[in-house]
A and B are shown apart, each in its own frame.
Chain A
Amino acid sequence: MATNVARLEVSQEEKRAGQSLTALAMRRLKRDRLTLIALAMISFLLAFSFLGAPILSQSLGVSPTRTQTDKTFLLPFTAENFPHVLGTDDLGRDHLSRLLYAGQVSLSVGALAALLSLSIGVTVGIITGYYGGIVDDVVNWIIATLNSIPSLFLLLIVAAVLRPSPQTLIIILGFLGWTGTTRLVRGETLSLREREYIVSARAVGASPLRIMFSHILPNLFSIIIISLALDIGGIILVEAALSFLGLGILPPTPSWGNMLSNSQTFFTKGPYLVVAPGLMIFLTVLCMYIVGDGLRDAFDPTAKD
């Protein structure tokens, strides 16, 4: 009975703390117009890529794989090239629908890799922060090792070893990108560990697993959401860089990165082929960074209103 009461009290305390900060952050966000615009833009890009693609194929009958060698490099935004709104590429494929399918790939890779690296980072961070000692030493050693190799070099070798497909790329980027989150989470856990409600939860005999994941984890919400936004943007950029070096997602699977690097040679024949994917990458990453920045400001407990 005593245990239950204690648990109730603990969860209410932490809920209050969490709620008030989240509520405060929400209030601040509502006033941060730039972040709101960026959020709206991201939602639009998501909807555009995932819903727009099938709608486009259905309504206009264009497909990202149908080649037309007599209709290559059609110009965008011209009446006579309808239904190819954004024109066609070097093989006569509809540029808009390719862009949308590439968006699905790039956004999924970015989001899934970020989620993977975040899950690893948060789990490892909580565990090391909570237990400390030898676990902490080993993890620190691994982090120091990974951080000492210039990240792109590491990516280059790993991408050369594993054949790059969307799946392997998610795994590579997820497994190489977790160290930053781990450090943040570890630090936060270290300080949370000494909080009263955690100490009392431990005193009443709550299992470490329970403490870590139902008491500490909810308090990491802000770190997680900020990392997620920044990581997705970063990963989309890294994928583009790897594509430029020939080690990103391989054609014929389209991604914004490989569309951008493959169209470079056509710069004079079809500048729009280079501009469009570049713009998509730029917009997505920009919005993700703005959102990440905005969230950080909103969740900043030291900031004054």
Chain B
Amino acid sequence: MNKLFRLVTVSVAVMLIAALVVIPTSAQDQCCQGGIIVEGNLGGDPATMNPVLSSDTASSRVIGLMQVGFLGVDVDEAVIAPNRPGALVKDWTVSEDGLTYTFNLRDDLAWSDGTPITSADVAYAWEAIKLGAEGVLDVPGSYIIDPTGATGVLDVTFPDDYTVVVQMASAECTSLSYAGSLVVVPSHVLPEDISTLMDAEFNLNPTVTSGVFNFGELRPGEQVSLVGNPNYSDAELGVVNPTGYIYKSVPDQTVMVEQFLAGELNVIDGPAVARRQDIRNSDAQVYAYPGNAWDYMAFNQADPNNPQNAFDEAGNPIDQGHHPIFGDVRVRQAIAKAVDVDALVSAAVFNEGSRMTSFIIPASWAYNSDLPPVALDVEGAKALLAEAGWADSNGDGVLEATADAMYAEEGSELTFTLYTNQGNTRREAIGTLIQDQLSQIGFRVDFQTIDFNTLLDIMDSQTFDSIILGWRNGYPDDPDATQLFTPGSDVIPGGNNFTSYNNPRFTELNTQAKNVPGCDPLERAPFYHEMQAIMQEDLPYLWLFAQNGMYAAAAGMTGFDPRPSQLLWNIDTWALSTP
């Protein structure tokens, strides 16, 4: 007994001394002293932690913290840029014809198990993307392969360990962002038979990483935890500051704000608009920016009872008819004058929004800041409606079509259905306000909230009158309008130009803008400026607003320095002053 006791005491003493000696000499103990960052997660669990399979926000969030990306982003300019920390591509060259991009990779990056990161790790992802295009795997990046070969990426080759050559289908300026869908995966730990990738153990237990954090654990329904990576070579301060990062599930925005104010969370992204003032009034650090998600009210300009594609299979235009009310641009303009968008911003999002003047978000380099939004002018709206042949002939407060109306049957009421998706209180508020405001100038609006998928069905089949919905732009964002507003995308079902908007001048400008040689934003911008002015006249959508984004961090968090849509880009420098 005594012997054993002595043995234990001695070994404890030895270990203590060893620890005292080892700790100060280890360089790595500098790492990860900054405390644990806890962020609120309003979505579900990450579906996967495999970069090539990830499509949901939660997955992208944690993968971005654990793995280096293929292309880097300049967060100040919000454009894809060479030589960025945490990105594999060093720089690239473009061939004369603009079709071949040659990416040079860094040779100084390694996986957490010591294996160097090479082009083979991109090649694996490309093979998975190809299998995705064949329908074998669910790979979100497979959209870059167009079966017709008209757009997207044609082929990717890997001449040596540190070179990736991407063959584009066209020289359009959007090509570079297609290459951005390439990812880097640790091919040496993934299954050799790529068709079994969906069930790879790595997807839920990514033991091999390359980013700021290593994987900690996934507690389903609760949180994902990541642990600071002592070997991260791109750390701005030389070492990674945070001890760990936790992405914690919270049931809703209200509870998220409460947990943040109570200190259970120390970073939040997108708190409830109604509570933002409370956060500003607290001692928290706050960063607000015009968001990249924007709401609109879309007008179906074609006949909703006989929906048609813009072109037949041979490419000849099809007569799509006209919407009895919205087919006339003057009616759309009248609505734009009658709806008080500023009031919508104040009531629906407590002024936490930025007005859209046209189809490009204020945060974009293509945004035309000289173009003012459509001014509120209720009398002007009434005059336009009268000019378009609408008058209240029976005195019930709702206008009827006169013989002068362009597409409406004489005597028919100025009434339409307005849909939005259920469960979105902001859009419910917008719809309620628009319904009431338009009733003041003689519309009768049947406003309904419906299930999201049902709404998408109605939208895709182009049988609707009007819809309130929103788009979330990508990051970095390209202002290209091909999918949204050119007749080539006016396809049933599923084409994104579901309002059947067709303005040849706009389409031509769009084509010119995305084919500017060299793709310099400064040279492309003038085209988009003119396009925005056209859109403000044509109004396929009523331009509403982009809800502002907001990030907040606890008062004691140092290093918190977000950019629009970039909260955690420098997380390796973050630290809590009282960890």
A160 proximity list for chain B (CB < 8 A): 451
Query: Is the pair B275, A91 in contact by a Cβ cutoff of 8 Å?
Result: no
- When C-beta atoms are compared, the residue in chain B nearest to A270 turns out to be B274
Please measure, in the bound complex, the distance between the C-alpha atom of A72 and the C-alpha atom of B343, giving whole angstroms: 11
Asked whether A265 lies within 8 Å of B254 as measured between CB atoms, the reply is yes
B282 on interface, CB distance cutoff 8 Å: no
A92 part of interface (Cβ distance < 8 Å): yes
A69-B340, A90-B429, A252-B449 known; A265 vs B347 contact (CB < 8 Å):
no
- List, in ascending order, chain B residues with CB within 8 A of A65's CB: 432, 435-436
Give B253's nearest chain A residue, CB to CB: A265
Known: A66-B436, A91-B433, A250-B449. Is A268-B278 also a contact (CB below 8 A)?
yes
The one of B253, B278, B428, B436 in contact with A67, judged by C-beta atoms closer than 8 angstroms, is B436
Q: How far is the CA of A69 from the CA of B433 in the complex (A)?
A: 9
* Chain B residue at minimal CB-CB distance from A70: B343
Of B272, B423, B428, B451, which is within 8 A of A252 by CB? B428
Measured as residues with beta carbon below 8 angstroms from the partner, the interface class of chain B is 20 to 34
* Contact indicator per residue, chain B 423-456, by CB within 8 Å of chain A (1) or not (0): 1010011011101110000000001111100100
CA of A251 to CA of B430, assembled, Å? 12
Q: Is B422 an interface residue (CB 8 A)?
A: yes
Centre residue among A65, A67, A262 by max chain B CB count within 10 A: A67
In whole angstroms, what is the CA distance A91 to B434 when docked?
11
B interface SS class: helix
Given A163-B451, A265-B253, A266-B274, A92:B435 Cβ within 8 A: no
Residue of B whose beta carbon sits closest to that of A71? B347
Residues of B within 8 A of A67 (CB): 347, 432-433, 436-437
B346 within 8 A of A: yes
- Across the interface, name the chain B residue whose C-beta is closest to A250: B449
Interface string of B249-289 (1 = CB under 8 A from A): 00011100000000000000000101100100000000000
Docked-complex contact B423 and A268, CB < 8 angstroms: no
In the complex, A70 Cα to B342 Cα: how many Å? 11
* Chain B CB within 8 A of A267 CB: yes
Question: Are A251 and B254 closer than 8 Å at their CB atoms?
Answer: no
Is the CB of A18 closer than 8 A to any CB of chain B?
A: no
B425 touches A265 (CB 8 A): yes
Which residues in chain B, 394-436, are within 8 Å of chain A measured between CB atoms? Answer: 422-423, 425, 428-429, 431-433, 435-436
A252→B422 contact, CB < 8 A: no
Q: Is A202 an interface residue (CB 8 A)?
A: no
> By the criterion CB–CB under 8 Å, are B347 and A264 in contact?
no
> Whose C-beta in chain B lies nearest to the C-beta of A262?
B425
* CA–CA, A65 and B429, complex, Å: 11
Q: Which residues of chain B (117-165) have a CB below 8 Å from chain A?
A: none
B343→A265 contact, CB < 8 A = no
Given contacts A251-B428, A252-B449, contact A90 B347 (CB under 8 A): yes
Report B-chain residues with C-beta under 8 Å of the C-beta of A268: 274-275, 278
B429 near A246 with CB under 8 A, answer no
A160 CA to B452 CA, complexed, in Å? 11
Name the distance in Å between B271's Cβ and chain A's nearest Cβ. Answer: 10
Interchain CA distance A92-B436 in the complex, whole Å: 11
A91 near B347: Cβ-Cβ < 8 Å: yes
**Is the beta-carbon distance between A265 and B274 smaller than 8 angstroms?**
yes
Q: How far in angstroms is the closest Cβ of chain B from A275? A: 16
In Å, the complex CA distance between A275 and B353 comes to 28
Q: Is A269 an interface residue (CB 8 A)?
A: yes
B432 touches A251 (CB 8 A): yes
C-alpha gap A65/B445 in the complex (Å): 12
Check A252–B432 contact: CB distance below 8 A.
Answer: yes
A/B pair count, beta carbons within 8 Å: 61
Q: How far is the CA of A246 from the CA of B272 in the complex (A)?
A: 17
A92–B428 CB distance below 8 A: no
A267 near B449 with CB under 8 A, answer no
The CA-CA distance from A268 to B448 in the complex, in Å, is 28
Tell me the smallest distance from the CB of A5 to a CB of chain B, in Å: 61
B429-A91 in contact (CB<8A): yes
Instruction: Kindly list chain A residues whose C-beta atoms are within 8 Å of the C-beta of B422.
Output: 246, 250
Whether the pair B450, A163 counts as a contact (CB closer than 8 A) is yes
Given A67-B437, A264-B254, A252 and B431 contact (CB-CB distance below 8 Å): yes
Interfacial residues of chain A within 54-91, with CB under 8 A of chain B in the complex: 65-67, 69-70, 72, 90-91
The answer to whether B274 touches A269 (Cβ under 8 A) is yes
Point out the residues of chain A lying under 8 angstroms from B347, CB to CB.
67, 69, 72, 90-92
Residues of A within 8 A of B429 (CB): 90-91
**Chain A positions 120-136 with a Cβ under 8 Å from a chain B Cβ:** none
Q: How far is the CA of A269 from the CA of B447 in the complex (A)?
A: 26
Residues of A contacting B344 in the complex (Cβ-Cβ under 8 angstroms): 69
Closest chain B residue, CB of each to CB of A72: B347
Which of B254, B437, B451 has its CB near the most chain A CB atoms (within 10 A)?
B451
Q: What is the minimal beta-carbon distance from A162 to any residue of chain B, in angstroms?
A: 10
A149 CB, min distance to chain B CBs, angstroms: 22
- Inter-chain CA distance A120–B340, complex, in Å, is 50
Tell me, in angstroms, the Cα distance from A266 to B433 when the chains sit together: 18
Taking the closest CB of chain A, its distance from the CB of B139, in whole angstroms, is: 28
Q: Specify which chain A residues have a CB less than 8 angstroms from the CB of B436 in the assembled complex.
A: 65-67
Q: Which A150-188 residues sit within 8 Å CB-CB of chain B?
A: 160, 163
Q: Using Cβ atoms and an 8 Å threshold, which residues of chain A touch B433?
A: 67, 69, 91
Query: How far is B429's CA from A265's CA once the two chains are assembled, in angstroms?
Result: 13
Chain B, 160-187, contact with A by CB distance < 8 Å: what is the 0/1 string?
A: 0000000000000000000000000000
Across the interface, which residues of B come within 8 angstroms of A265, CB to CB?
253-254, 272, 274-275, 425
Q: Which of B509-536 contact A (CB under 8 A)?
A: none
Asked whether B449 lies within 8 Å of A251 as measured between CB atoms, the reply is yes
Please judge, given known A-B contacts A66-B436, A69-B343, A252-B449, whether A267 and B254 are in contact too, CB under 8 Å: yes
Closest Cβ of chain A to B40, distance in Å, is 15
Cα distance, A265 to B278, chains bound together (Å):
12
Chain B residues lying within 8 Å of A91, measured Cβ to Cβ, are 347-348, 429, 432-433
Q: Which residue of A lies closest to B434 (CB)?
A: A67
List A contacts of B253 (CB < 8 A). 265
Residues of chain A within 8 A (CB-CB) of B274 are 90, 265-266, 268-269
**Measured between alpha carbons, how far is A160 from B433 in the docked complex, in Å?**
27
Among A65, A92, A252, the most chain B Cβ lie within 10 Å of the Cβ of A252
Give the docked Cα–Cα distance between A107 and B347 (Å).
29
Residues of B within 8 A of A267 (CB): 254
Measured between C-beta atoms, what is the minimum distance from A98 to chain B in Å? 11
* Bound complex: CA A65 to CA B435 (Å): 9
Residues on the A chain within 8 Å of B278, using CB: 268
Q: Which residues of A contact B431 (CB under 8 A)?
A: 252
- Contact between B346 and A69 (Cβ–Cβ < 8 Å)? yes
Give the CA-CA distance A246 to B423 in the complex, in Å.
Answer: 6
Q: Measured between alpha carbons, how far is A67 from B343 in the docked complex, in Å?
A: 10
Residue in contact with A163 in the complex, picked from B346, B425, B454, CB distance below 8 Å: B454
Instruction: Give the distance to chain A from B115, nearest Cβ to Cβ, in Å.
Output: 46
Please, which residue of chain A has its CB at the minimum distance from the CB of B437? A67
Interchain nearest-CB distance for A250 vs B (Å):
5
Roughly how many angstroms separate A268 CA and B347 CA in the complex, as a whole number? 16
Q: Interface code A196-226, partner B: CB below 8 Å = 1, 0 otherwise?
A: 0000000000000000000000000000000
Sampled A-B contacts (10; CB under 8 Å): A65-B432, A65-B436, A72-B347, A91-B429, A163-B450, A250-B422, A250-B449, A251-B428, A266-B274, A269-B274
List the interface of chain A (C-beta within 8 A of B).
Answer: 65-67, 69-70, 72, 90-92, 160, 163, 246, 250-252, 262, 264-269
The 8 A-B pairs at the shortest CB distance, nearest first, are namely A69-B343, A69-B347, A67-B436, A246-B423, A250-B449, A265-B274, A251-B428, A265-B272
Given A67-B436, A69-B346, A252-B428, 6 more A-B residue pairs with CB atoms under 8 Å apart are A163-B450, A246-B422, A246-B423, A250-B450, A252-B447, A265-B274
